[in-house]
Structure 1
Amino acid sequence: MEKINGHTMTNSVSTDEILEKNGNKKKSCKDKLMRFLNRNMLVIMTVSGVLVGVGLGMMVRNMNLTRAQMTYFAFPGEMLLRMLKMIILPLVVCSLISGAASLDTRSLGKLGGIAVSYFLVTTLIASGIGVTLAFIIKPGVGAGALNTNNLGLESVNTNKETTDSFLDLARNLFPANLVAAAFRSYATDYKMVAVGNDTNGTILYQKVPVGTEPDGMNILGLVLFAMVFGVALRKLGEEGEELIRFFNAFNEATMVLVSWIMWYVPFGIMFLVGSKIVEMEDVVLLVTSLGKYIFASVLGHIIHGGVVLPLIYFGFTRKNPFSFLSGLITPFTTAFATCSSSATLPSMIKCVEENNGVDKRISRFILPIGATVNMDGAAIFQCVAAVFIAQLNNIELNAGQIFTILVTATASSVGAAGIPAGGIITIAIILEAIGLPTNDLSLMLAVDWIVDRTTTVVNVEGDALGAGILHHINQQEMKKQQHLGEELAEVLVEAVANAQADEETSPLVTHQTLGSAGDQSPRETAEAIESVL
C-alpha cells in the first residue's frame, strides 16, 4: 500500500513479482545461451580446432621433428581422413539409389537437367574469372628466372594426351567391374613398342596407349550406376519396394555413423592443420616467388564464392544466401582442413538437411553428384595456372587458345578427383590441349597445399547452393501443382452439380457423377504432386 496525493493506493506490482520477473529474464537469457551453445557446439569446436591446430603447428615446428615423428604427430588427423573416406562409398551409392528411386522418371529428368545446367554454367563462369584475373594480375610475368631447381622441387611426370584423358573419363563412367570400381579407376599409360627399322637400320618405336588401374575410388562410375539402378528399381513397382526400403534404411544408418564421426572432426582437424604447418618447407621463399599466383587463385575463389554463387542463389530464390551458408560452417571448415570434396560430403549432407531444411530426396541425390562433377574452385586455379605457365615461358596466348583453356578446364574439372591435389593432373590436360610445356607443373604442386584449401571450400559451396536452388524450385512446383489440383477439383464438382440439376437429355452432354469426380481429382492431384521435382 502507498499514498499518492493523500489517497491510499494498492501496489499493482509487488516487490516479489518484480524479483520474479527479473529472475525469469536472467533465466531466459541463460536458457537462450545454453540453446545457442547446444545448437552450435560442433561449429564452435570445429573452428576452434583449426585455430588451436595453427598454434600447435607453430609450436611443434620449432622442435625440428624427424620425418617419423611428423608421421606420429599427424596420426589423429590421418584417422579422421580414413573415417571420412570409409563412409563415402556407402553414402554415395545408397543415397543416390534411394534418391533416384524416390523420384519418378519425369521429375528425375527435369531435376538432372537443371543440376547439369547449373554445374556447367557455374564452372564456365569460374573458368572465365580465372582467365580474366590471370591476365589482369599477370602472375607469371617477371618470373621467367624462376625454375623448379631454385625451390628444390621434384618434377611431375605427365605425358598424357588430351584425347586419352577424355576417353578415360568416358571409360570411368562405365566401369567393367563394379567391385573393383570401389577402389580402382581406369587411366591410360603409354609404352614404347618397336615397329620396325628405318633405312639406316635404326629401330623405330611407337608410343602405344595401355590401360592401367591405379588405386583410387572410381566415384564417377559408381554415381552413374547408382542413379540408373535407382531408376530401374522405381520401374519395377511393388517388386522393387523392398530393395528401395533396404537402401533407404542403409542410407539412414550411414547418416547416424556420420553424426558420430562429426564429433571427432574438431580433434582430427586440429592435428590435420597442425601437421601441415609442421611439414611446410620454406614458406617465405615460396610466397615471394609464387605470391602473385597464390593471390590470383585465392582472389578468384573469393569473387566466385563470395559474390557470383550467392548472386545466382539470390536470383533463383530471392532469399539471403549468407543465412543459408551460415548453417554450413562445419562442412566448410572440414573442406578447408581436408582439401577433399569427397571427404566433406558426409558432413555437407547432414548440415544441409538439418540446418537448412533441404528435402532429403534432393540433397542425397544432388550432393554426391556435385561432389564428383562440380569443381568450380578447381576450374579457377587450373585456368590461372595455365595462363601463369604461359607467361612464365613468355608465350602469348591467342583467342583460340584462351577459348580452349575455358572449355577444357570446364570439361576436365568433371573428371578431377575429389581428393587433395586432384586438380594438378587436370592442369596437364589443359597444357597439352594448348601446346604448353608441362615441366613447370611442380611449381603448382609446391603451393597446392595453400590454394587447394580455398579451392575445396568453393567446390562444396557450389554444391550446397545448387541443392538449395533445386529445393526452392521443387517447393514452388509443388505449390503450383497443389493449387492446380484444388482448382481442378472445384471445376469438376461444379460441373457435376449443374449437370444433375438441369437434367439435360441431349446426347451431346456427357453426364459425370460426383463420385467419379471425387475419385479422379485426388488421384490426379497426387500424380501431379508426385511428378514435380
Structure 2
Amino acid sequence: MEKKNGHTMTDSVSTDDILEKNGKKKKSCKDKLMRFLNRNMLVIMTVSGVLVGVGLGMMVRNMNLTRAQMTYFAFPGEMLLRMLKMIILPLVVCSLISGAASLDTRSLGKLGGIAVSYFLVTTLIASGIGVSLAFIIKPGVGAGALNTNNLGLESVNTNKETTDSFLDLARNLFPANLVAAAFRSYATDYKMVAVGNDTNGTILYQKVPVGTEPDGMNILGLVLFAMVFGVALRKLGEEGEELIRFFNAFNEATMVLVSWIMWYVPFGIMFLVGSKIVEMEDVVLLVTSLGKYIFASVLGHIIHGGVILPLIYFGFTRKNPFSFLSGLITPFTTAFATCSSSATLPSMMKCVEENNGVDKRISRFILPIGATVNMDGAAIFQCVAAVFIAQLNNIELNAGQIFTILVTATASSVGAAGIPAGGIITIAIILEAIGLPTNDLSLMLAVDWIVDRTTTVVNVEGDALGAGILHHINQQEMKKQHLGEELAEVLVEAVANTQADEETSPLVTHQTLGSAGDQSPRESAEAIESVL
C-alpha cells in the first residue's frame, strides 16, 4: 500500500503477490493430491482390482463357461500366484539368515522368546474366541439334515492319526534333504500288511505307517535351518562376514523383484477373485445352508483382528494400532485375494519396512517365522468348525474335549501350511483328537474359499503387529543401552576428577576408593596426569 496525493492507493506489485500466493495455494493442493495418489496408487489399484474382479465374476457366471474356458479365464490370476510362490523360497531363506546373523545372540534369544510367547498367547486367545462364538451362535444346532449329499460335495479323505500328525510336524522341522525340502515335505500314509492267520484261517492285516513325500515346500524345516545357519554365521565372526554380505545382497535383490511383482498384483487379483466366483456352482445354497458357520467364523476374525490384536499392540507400544495397519492395505488385499500367508509375505515385508519404518533386521527375522507358525485366523475357524461338526452330529462336548480343541488348534496351527485350504487338514487332526467323525469335512471345504479370505487377513495382521511390537521393544532396549553408556562415561570422568581433587561428593569418593584399589600407583598417576 502507498499514499498518493493524500489518497491511499493499492500497489500493483502487491496485487500480483496476492495472485501468486493464491496460485501457490492452489498448486500446493494439487501437489498434495498428486503426492497422495503417487504414494497410494498401488493400494487404490489393488482394492479396485478386487471390486472389478467381483463384478467381472458375476458377469462371466451368466455365460455358462466350460471347465476349459474357466481355466483360461483364471490364467492371469494363476500367473500372480506362481510369481508370488516363486519368490517365497529365496525370500524366507535369505531374509532369515541375514536377520538372524545381524542380531547378536543375546538379543536374538530375547526377541525370539518374546515372538514365540506373542504367537502362542494370541493363538490361544483366538482359539478361545472361536470356541466361545461357536457355543453362543450354535451354527450346527438344528442343521442335522445338512449333509454332504444334499450339496453334492466330494468327500475328503482324512485317515491320518493324531499322533502321526504331530510326529510329522517334528520330522518336517528337521528335513533329511535340504534341497528336497524346497519342493517336498514329509507326510505319513498307511498300508495294510498281512501279519498272519487267525484260528479260522482268515488273514490278519495290520495298519502300518509309511513315510511319503508329497509335493509342497517344507517351509517349517527351511525356517529352522535358516535361523540356525544365521546364528552359526554370526558365531564365525570375520570369517562369516562375506557370506552374511552375500545373503544380505541376495535379500535386497529379492525385495527389488518383489517391488516389480507388486505392480502386477492388481491385475492378477482381479482374475483370482473373478475366477473363484465363476467356479462356484451354487453359491446361494451354500451360503444359506452354512450361513451361521460362516457368520461365526467371520465374526471371530473381526473381533480378534479388529479388537484383540490392536489392543495388544497398544498395550505394548502406547501407539495407535490403526495408523500402523493403514500402511498395510496392499498386503491385506493381497491376503484377501490369494488366501495364502506365504504368498503375502513379499508385500508384507516391503510395506512394514517402507510404510511403518520397522527395522529390517526385525522384520526379516520375525515375518517369515510368523507366516509359518502364527495362524490366529486359522485357529478361530478350526475351533468353530470342530464345535459345528459336533453340534451337527448332536454330540455334547465335555470340558476335557473343549480343552483338547483349544490345545490341539493352537499346536497344530503351527504346522498348518500357509496355502489356500491348508487349514482343512488341521481340522481333521482336531476332530481325530476329540473322537468326532471326519466325513463332514467336505462342508468346510465347500465354504473354505469364503472363510479363508478373512482367515488369511487376520493371520498376516498378527504377524505385522508382532513385528511392530518387537521393533518397539528393540528400540526401548537400545535407548536404555545408550543411556547406560552415557552414565558410564560420566562415572569414568567422576573417578578421574576425584583422583585429582579429594573435595567431591561422598558417592563419587566411594566410587574412587573402590576403583583406585584395583589400580597400581603408576596407573593412578597416569590417570591423574591425563585428566589434568
- TM category, shorter: over 0.9
SS of alignment partner, residue 177 of structure 1: coil
Distance 2:327 2:392 in 1: 41
Whether contact under 8 Å (2:498, 2:512) holds in the other structure is: no
Whether contact under 8 Å (1:485, 1:525) holds in the other structure is: no
Offset, 1:200: 1.1
Whether contact under 8 Å (2:496, 2:531) holds in the other structure is: no
Distance 1:300 1:530 in 2: 71
Offset, 1:18: 1.5
Whether contact under 8 Å (1:104, 1:531) holds in the other structure is: no
* 1:504 and 2:503 aligned: yes
After superposition, the Cα gap between the structure-2 partners of 1:158 and 1:508, relative to the gap in structure 1 and judged at 3 Å, is closer
Offset, 1:501: 1.3
After superposition, the Cα gap between the structure-2 partners of 1:495 and 1:402, relative to the gap in structure 1 and judged at 3 Å, is same
Offset, 1:504: 12
Distance 1:530 1:406 in 2: 69
Whether contact under 8 Å (1:324, 1:356) holds in the other structure is: yes
1:107-151 per-residue CA deviation (whole Å, 9 max, x = no partner) reads 110000000000000000000000000000000001101110100
Which position in structure 2 is the counterpart of 1:28? 28
Distance 1:229 1:326 in 2: 35
TM-score normalised by the chain length of structure 2: 0.93
* Match runs of 1:409-420 below 5 Å: 409-420=409-420
Whether contact under 8 Å (2:191, 2:209) holds in the other structure is: yes
Whether contact under 8 Å (1:223, 1:368) holds in the other structure is: yes
Whether contact under 8 Å (1:499, 1:511) holds in the other structure is: no
After superposition, the Cα gap between the structure-2 partners of 1:474 and 1:531, relative to the gap in structure 1 and judged at 3 Å, is farther
After superposition, the Cα gap between the structure-2 partners of 1:243 and 1:87, relative to the gap in structure 1 and judged at 3 Å, is same
Whether contact under 8 Å (1:104, 1:530) holds in the other structure is: no
Which position in structure 2 is the counterpart of 1:470? 470
Count of residue correspondences? 532
Moved more, 280-289 or 449-458: 280-289
Whether contact under 8 Å (1:493, 1:517) holds in the other structure is: no
SS of alignment partner, residue 3 of structure 1: strand
TM-score normalised by the chain length of structure 1: 0.93
After superposition, the Cα gap between the structure-2 partners of 1:231 and 1:518, relative to the gap in structure 1 and judged at 3 Å, is farther
Offset, 1:280: 1.1
Whether contact under 8 Å (1:362, 1:470) holds in the other structure is: yes
Offset, 1:487: 3.7
User: What is the alpha-carbon root mean square deviation over aligned residues?
Assistant: 5.3
After superposition, the Cα gap between the structure-2 partners of 1:518 and 1:7, relative to the gap in structure 1 and judged at 3 Å, is farther
1:392-429 per-residue CA deviation (whole Å, 9 max, x = no partner) reads 00000000000000000000000000000000000000
Offset, 1:189: 0.5
1:55-80 per-residue CA deviation (whole Å, 9 max, x = no partner) reads 11111111100000000000000000
Distance 1:529 1:92 in 2: 55
Distance 1:365 1:144 in 2: 47
Distance 1:525 1:457 in 2: 64
1:16-49 per-residue CA deviation (whole Å, 9 max, x = no partner) reads 1111111001100110011001100000000010
Whether contact under 8 Å (2:190, 2:207) holds in the other structure is: yes
Distance 1:516 1:343 in 2: 58
Offset, 1:512: 11
Offset, 1:499: 3.7
| Structure 1 unaligned spans of 5+ | none
After superposition, the Cα gap between the structure-2 partners of 1:515 and 1:132, relative to the gap in structure 1 and judged at 3 Å, is closer
Moved more, 329-338 or 276-285: 276-285
Offset, 1:507: 19
* 1:93 and 2:125 aligned: no
SS of alignment partner, residue 227 of structure 1: helix
Offset, 1:202: 1.1
* Match runs of 1:58-457 below 5 Å: 58-457=58-457
Offset, 1:11: 4.8
Offset, 1:486: 4.0
After superposition, the Cα gap between the structure-2 partners of 1:337 and 1:107, relative to the gap in structure 1 and judged at 3 Å, is same
1:171-193 per-residue CA deviation (whole Å, 9 max, x = no partner) reads 00000000000000000011111
After superposition, the Cα gap between the structure-2 partners of 1:531 and 1:505, relative to the gap in structure 1 and judged at 3 Å, is closer
| Structure 2 unaligned spans of 5+ | none
Distance 1:52 1:140 in 2: 34
Distance 1:527 1:379 in 2: 67
SS of alignment partner, residue 531 of structure 2: coil
Overall identity of the aligned pairs, in %: 98
Offset, 1:490: 3.7
After superposition, the Cα gap between the structure-2 partners of 1:498 and 1:73, relative to the gap in structure 1 and judged at 3 Å, is same
1:256-293 per-residue CA deviation (whole Å, 9 max, x = no partner) reads 00000000000000000111111112011111111000
Distance 1:530 1:83 in 2: 68
Distance 2:350 2:505 in 1: 62
Moved more, 213-222 or 12-21: 12-21
Offset, 1:502: 3.6
Distance 1:476 1:60 in 2: 54
Offset, 1:198: 1.0
After superposition, the Cα gap between the structure-2 partners of 1:99 and 1:199, relative to the gap in structure 1 and judged at 3 Å, is same
Offset, 1:7: 4.9
Distance 1:45 1:275 in 2: 19
Distance 1:286 1:312 in 2: 35
After superposition, the Cα gap between the structure-2 partners of 1:506 and 1:364, relative to the gap in structure 1 and judged at 3 Å, is closer
Offset, 1:6: 6.5
Distance 1:294 1:406 in 2: 20
Offset, 1:524: 21
SS of alignment partner, residue 201 of structure 1: coil
Which position in structure 2 is the counterpart of 1:518? 517
1:342-372 per-residue CA deviation (whole Å, 9 max, x = no partner) reads 0000000000000000000000000000000
After superposition, the Cα gap between the structure-2 partners of 1:508 and 1:310, relative to the gap in structure 1 and judged at 3 Å, is closer
After superposition, the Cα gap between the structure-2 partners of 1:349 and 1:517, relative to the gap in structure 1 and judged at 3 Å, is farther
After superposition, the Cα gap between the structure-2 partners of 1:525 and 1:362, relative to the gap in structure 1 and judged at 3 Å, is farther
